[in-house]
Structure formats: C-alpha cells, structure tokens
Chain A
Amino acid sequence: MLTNQEQLLSKIASNDGHGENSAFFDGWKAYDSDPYHPTQNPNGVIQMGLAENQLSMDLVEEWVRNNPQASICTPKGASQFKDIAIYQDYHGLPEFRNAVARFMEKVRGNRVRFDPDRIVMSGGATGAQETLAFCLADPGEALLVPTPYYPGNDRDLTWRTGIELIPVVCDSSNDFKFTRDALETAFNKAQESNTKVKGLLLNNPSNPLGTVLDREALSMAINFINDKNIHLICDEIYSATVFDEPGFISIAEILQESPQTNPELIHIIYSLSKDLGFPGFRVGILYSYNDAVVSCARKMSSFGLVSTQTQLLLASMLSDEEFLEKFLAESAARLCARRSMLCQGLAQMGVGSLKGSAGLYCWMDLRRLLKAATFEAEMELWRVIVNDVRINVSPGASFHCSEPGWFRVCFANMDDETMRVALGRISKLVMQSNKNSESRKPCRRRSKLEISLSFRRLDEIMMSPHSPMTSPLVRART
C-alpha cells in the first residue's frame, strides 16, 4: 500500500528499479562505514568490489602536468576559456570527437575506422546504455543479455525506460560462453510470454568474467541478430584493459568482415572510465551505424553532455600519439602483473578463477567453500567474507549468475601491499574452511601420516618463495 507521500511521486521514483535496495549494497555500506587503511585502519574492510583502474594514474598525471594548456590554466589556455565555456553544441567539440574516434581505432589496432560524425556523447556509459534503450525499444519490450552480467544494467536499461532484460543463461560447463542454443532459448521464452525482443546486449570484454569474445562467438551473435532482425549492442568499455592473449576483437571488425549483416543493427557503447581510469569525468560514447539512432541519440545527449572543459582536456590527451602508445602498453602490463598476483595467490590456496585476458577483476571460484550448492549458501559465505574476512567482493547472484559460488574480485583499485593483505585474509578463510570441511567429513580411517602430510603441504604453500605470505613487508608487520 503506497503511502500518501509515495502516491505524490511517480512510480519510478517510488519503486526499486534503481536496484540500490538490494542486499548486495550491504557490502558497500560495510566498506563505507569501515574502510581499510594500512596504518589508520588496518582491520577495515578492503574494497574489492569496485572495478576501477587506478594502476596507471601516475602516467596520466604526468601528462596533465606537462600539458597545462589543456587544462585552461595557462594564459594561452585561459584565452580559450570563453569559447569552450559557451560551447553547448550537442555534436561536441570536433577535435574531441576526432580524438575519440582515433583513440578507439588505436585500441583496435587500427584494424577498423570510426567516423567522428557517428560519435554521440553521453553521461558516462551509464547514460549511453539508457539512451540506446530509449532509442531502440518501447516500454514492455526486451533486450537479451547473457549471464552473468553487470548489475548496473538493470538500472541503466530498465528503470526509467520500462523495458525488460531477459537472461541468456550461461554456465561454467563451457566457461560461461553463450551458445546459439542459449540465445534461441531466451528468444523463444520471450515469444512465449508475448514479449517483443528488440536486441541483444553483449559486454566485450566481459564484466564480470574478465574474458574476451572470440571470433566464433561474435560471428554467431551477428548471425543470430541478423536472422531475427534485432539490434546488437556491444558494450566495449573494457576494450583497452586487454592485457594478454586472446586479444580483443571488436564487433566493428566482424561487421567489416560480414557484408551480409545489416549495419543499421549494430551499436557500440564506450567510455573512458575503465580504459583510462577517469570515471569522475563522465565521458560516455555511443557509436551507431544507424543514422536514425545517431540522430535520435544526439538529441537525447542533451540530457548528459560531456563538460566542454573535459572535452578540451581529452581532445588534447587523446591526440598525443606518443603518450597513448606508452600508456596503453604500460597499463596492459601492469594489469597483467596485478591479475597474476591475485590469481596465482588464489591458486596457491587451491582457489580457482576463470582464465581471462582482460578487465579489472577476476571471476573467482569459491564453489567448494559453499556449505551447499545454493544461493543461500553463497549469500552466507559472502556475509562471512564481508563481515569476518573484511573484504568487499561481489557475489555471483548480484550478476544474475545461474550457478552459486562465483565471486567477482577487483584488483586494479589498490596498491600491491593492500593486495597482499587481502590475499592473506582470503587464505585464512580458505584454511578455516578446509578445517571445517575436514571436521564435517564422516569419520573415516585416515592414517595419521596422511593428515600430517596434508597440513604440512599447506604450510609449504604458504611459506613458499612465491607465496604472498613470505613478503618481507608482511613479516615485518606481524
């Protein structure tokens, strides 16, 4: 029963479509109320639920310092102030659009060309997603999305637009790759409930999986949407976080190779928040091969244009070829190293993670730590991780994962030291869990030798030269 106050507001304002009442926000709240700090709050919660790229900020900072005119803080820069302060044309500064197009090409190894006139600004990728949903679908219509997927999709694509998301279920049996069968199943399910499907949304590289789509998967997707005559939205916001083989293949490349595909069905979402690490600057990009969508989205961009002060800064930064070469290579190397540190550290504890070559997180397999293969058990384990282990990670259920036990763990928003502390805490959890499961096992005759051997092996793992536990810094503090 709506209160009087709620009735005065819209349904959208009063419902939970923003997704923030979900239990998963408890992890954020735990972090916000007790954030980890190495000296001031060493027992605080370590934030591993935030997909931010902080590893290469020093390079960007250096560029900003060396290019003050781009920040309009020099006499030369200040004289540009008037022109950029009054510029509110929703086409965006031409130099900005050109620079973004060239940057997107560079990230794709210059294997494709992007037309700056098809670049539309938006309030971050968040704004781009919503705008595209408004352009492509009417309330009650639907988009198919492979699971697991970024939780923000629920808010961005459905909250104010009134459209529905229908999951394309993927599972660990084939490393969570979507299959033609899964696509067809989801599509048919929609038909059965009289829901019109307007498109398929792919996230490549994937959040939360950290994997890239191969040529086969992309071709399969393009054939599928072409057959059904529905749109294909490719969210490529992590495209420059690819640090290993297999490399990144953009839908733009597949489109180039598929002349039989209707290009008017293809749309790309991009942002500088992940690749460059600037979520604060709110740079979202919508790129469409469909003229009507470009035109409509551009008008809608009035609701979320990029500040011209920021456009100017980035137009300059993204045209600096030398800087970009260095940045992209260095960023990839640092992401690679950090991910290895995390995943190898986990492996040494017997915790697996999905093999991946991209993203700012890994998809961690904690299925064997669950008391039962249920989402209740996953939630219970998650609460232990947040409240007892004091790490905020994101449980698979928040990503609509079909199997319990998977967690997304972010690694690029902290320094090496914090990572070591986090690994230490996780290992304690694993050891405790091993002890618990040992004691839960039905009493069987095990030779004393076997038991002592298994514990000794764990000790060896923890104290090996490769183990994060043997870092001199960790030892010094304890």
Chain B
Amino acid sequence: MTLSKKATCNSHGQDSSYFLGWEEYEKNPYDQLHNPNGIIQMGLAENQLSFDLLESWLAANPDAASFKRDGQSIFRELALFQDYHGLPAFKNAMVKFMSEIRGNKVKFNPNKLVLTAGATSANETLIFCLANPGEAVLLPTPYYPGFDRDLKWRTGVEIVPIHCTSSNGFRITGPALEEAYQTAQKRNLKVKGVLVTNPSNPLGITLTRTELDLLVDFIDQKGIHLISDEIYSGTVFDSPSFVSIMEVLINRNYINTDVWDRVHIVYSLSKDLGLPGFRVGAIYSNDDMVVAAATKMSSFGLVSSQTQYLLSAMLSDDKFAPNYVVENQKRLKDRHAMLVRGLKAIGISCLKSNAGLFCWVDMRHLLTANTFQAEIDLWKKIVYEVGLNISPGSSCHCHEPGWFRVCFANMSEDTLNRAVQRMKAFVETARAGFSQNQTRSGSRRKAFTKWVFRLSFQDRDGRER
C-alpha cells in the first residue's frame, strides 16, 4: 500500500524554516488586545493596507457580488460557466489592469492570457509546458521559498541557482548567468529557461534595464525561455519605475521573433490587490502553443466564475482601478519608510528597495559567525525570544548568511512600531552583553557565549529543532 514518491519525499519544501516559522506563529499569534506577547507575523507577504478602498467599492457596487448585471440575476450563467477560456469581460479587465500598471507602455491581448488558480498554479503550469522531468530552470538567488514546491515538486524539474550577492546589491550579472548555465551542464541537466521575479521577492527591488537586457541577450543566445513573474508589479512605490520585460522586447524590436515567443509572464491579484483568498492567477504568453497547452491544463485549477465576475466589474471601473493603484503605492511607500527608519535607528540597514511588501534586512553584524548555522541560531532567537516571525535568507536560498526578509504590509502601524521596539530591545541587550564582555575578564566572555548558546537551543516548547 505504498504512496507515490511525490507523496513521501519532501520536495514540497514545507519542512523548511520558512514554513516552520509560520507554524510557530499559528501556535502563538500576536493580538493587540488578547495576546500582546504573541509572535508578530512578519513572514507573510500580504498587502492589507488598502482594504478600505476595496470595501467601499463593494458597498457602492453590490450587484457585482450578488450575481447581478444591470439589476438582473445572472446566477445561472455564472454557476454554469466552466469554459477554461475564462469570462471574456474578466480577461479584458485583467489585461487592461496589467497595462495600466505598466504605464500603458505595453498592450496585452486577452486571447493570450490564461487564467489559473493563483500564481502558484500559473508557475507550475508553465513549467509543465516548458520542461520535461529532469530538465532545469535557472533562478537568481535569493528567491521565494515556494518555488521549490511550485516549480519542482510534481513536475520533476530541477532549479539551478544564479548566485547574486550583496557585493553589487544582489543584481544579476552576465558571469553569474553563465556560471549557473555551466553548473547545470556539468550536472547533465538540460536548461530550458530562466525564471526571474520582477519586482523581486525577497529583495523588493525592480530589475534594472541593464539586467533585463542581459536576460534577453542570454535567452537569445542560449535558445531558452524566460519566465518573468511580475506578481508584485503593482507594488512599485518609488523610483525607478517598473520596467516590464515586454517593454524591453518591444523597444529592442524583438516583436514576432523567436525570442518574443519564448518570453512568458506570470501575474496574480494576490499581492497588488491583496486578494490571495480569491485565487486569481494568470499566464501571459506570446506563443500560441504555450497558450493552448496552458489553457487545457488550467482545467486543474480554474478561477471561480463568481470571482471572475466580481473582479471584472471592479477592474473595469475606470474610476476605481487606477486610483486604487496610486493610493496603494503611496501607503506602501509610507509603511516601508517607517520600517526602514525604525531599523536604521537601531543600527540595522536594509537593501535599498522600491517595491514589494517586505524589506531585505542586513543582520550580518548580529551573527556570532559568518555561517548559516549562526543565521538559523539568530533566527530562532528572533522567533522565540523576540517574538517576530521573519524569514531567514537561507530559506530563500541566499548565498550569504545574515540576511532576512521582513514584511511590513500585513499589519497596522501600531503593530509595526511594536515589532521595531522589540528588535530595539533585543539589539540593545545583545550589544550590552557584548560590550560588557570586551571590558571584563575571559570568564565573562565564556558566560556570554553560554548565554548565546542557551538561547539558541531553547525553544518555547522545549522541542529539538
């Protein structure tokens, strides 16, 4: 009575620290009133800053949620609609919205858009379409931990990292691309494409034109695909503005070339609109065969027609969608500044970023050693002692220890302040302990080391990790 290998292995990646931190939060979640000493969730890249705007739209447009069009019930039509081509009004609204986010510099054809159950499904589906089991995709590190599950688990495809480092702000370079490709060759893995997230998760930066040009040249030369996961494209709150890969291809006259057909975009409404529960993802491809295959595969995860209808009304509302994007970006900018400022005041710097729902925080100076073990030790202290669930860089496959992703858009200002205060207390205690050691005898140094040792292995519930 055995199960499949997929069921018994751990390629779903859920044993990683990224998910374990979530579990700890679930057991002891912070609540301002009921559990002020609980763990504050800063490991969840959710956009909760602009719900009031969505709620007031909903209150003013009750028909959209109540299965009505112009006062007439369309319940039956929606309940029966299971066409994997999607509701035309919804796809039209989506491509319009995507275009607006790109400053209308790119126009999208709704017939090349495939709807999927979230970006999770979009990414997996694209890999199923582009690569065979045992083949590989290249991904710049650090990357979203969920990719290990989404791109590899059921597809049997490998990820080979393109290492990016703090020496140049984690930018993608030509040599890094080439090195990754060679590494794959040495492992006898056929590379089918590169997948980038732009804006980047976890870095929170938009790719520069230089990086985008490099990528286009690289996939042109190697004859491979490029997947651009642009699910954070609407969260760009500061300059430089977002440059889509499509824009670069158009500017460099790549329209209708082979390269044009090998570039695919993944999108979702989970981050830009803050609607992860509604499971709205999309694949956009210029290649008709990819669109055809992905459309058939979308049968395994279509978007509920009820949701398609609600959102088609919302996104096609010219008075709503563009204003939402602008206001939301403003609020993200303010919240981002608050976190950066707060951390700076306690001697912690962040990678300069202009997008996303998180900061890439530099805590290398707080490590006891320049190792990933020291990073995990520090992470455990922060989760269990400081009470903040943040994501360690190692869970994002970062090449250097000491970096952490800290989310800021899924909580109130008060909670964010509270989180910063906790970090402040932690840093000051650690600093005090360390500086005391400097002036006293070696026995004190031993005491400090013991304290650090004790902290790192002491879990709240006493279990070995």
Contact = CB atoms under 8 A, between A and B. Distances in A.
Interface stretch (A57-65, A416-424, A425-433): A57-65
B43 interface: no
A218 B333 CA distance: 62
B51 interface: yes
Given A88-B270, A296-B6, A81 B58 contact: yes
Contact of A309 (B4, B261, B310): B310
A231 B7 CA distance: 14
B63 interface: yes
A136 B154 contact: no
Interface stretch (A120-128, A169-177, A460-468): A120-128
**For this complex, into which size category does the number of interface residues on chain B fall?**
35 or more
Contacts of B82: 124, 273, 279-280, 282
A190 interface: no
Given A71-B65, A81-B58, A231 B120 contact: no
A303 B120 contact: yes
Interface in B44-90: 46, 48, 51, 54-55, 58-59, 62-67, 73, 75-76, 78-82
A139 B133 CA distance: 11
A134 B293 contact: no
B51 A309 contact: no
A125 to B, nearest CB: 11
A281 B306 contact: yes
A299 B150 CA distance: 11
Contacts of B79: 57, 60, 277-281
Contacts of B154: 134, 160, 300, 303
Nearest to A74: B62
B73 A65 contact: yes
11 contacts: A12-B129, A54-B76, A86-B276, A88-B277, A273-B82, A280-B82, A281-B306, A307-B304, A308-B279, A310-B304, A313-B306
B7 to A, nearest CB: 4
Interface stretch (A3-11, A319-327, A346-354, A382-390): A3-11
Interface string B286-323: 01011001001101111111110010000000000000
A303 B180 CA distance: 28
Contacts of B302: 123-124, 282
Contact of A75 (B46, B59, B81, B276): B59
**For this complex, into which size category does the number of interface residues on chain A fall?**
35 or more
Interface string B115-148: 0011011001000111111000000000000000
Contacts of A86: 46, 48, 274-277
Contacts of B296: 18, 20, 155
Contacts of A200: none
A313 B65 CA distance: 11
A156 B149 CA distance: 21
B5 interface: yes
Nearest to B19: A299
Contact of B76 (A61, A292, A302): A61
A3 to B, nearest CB: 9
A124 to B, nearest CB: 7
B262 interface: yes
Contacts of A124: 82, 299, 302
A222 to B, nearest CB: 14
Contacts of B73: 61, 65
A130 interface: yes
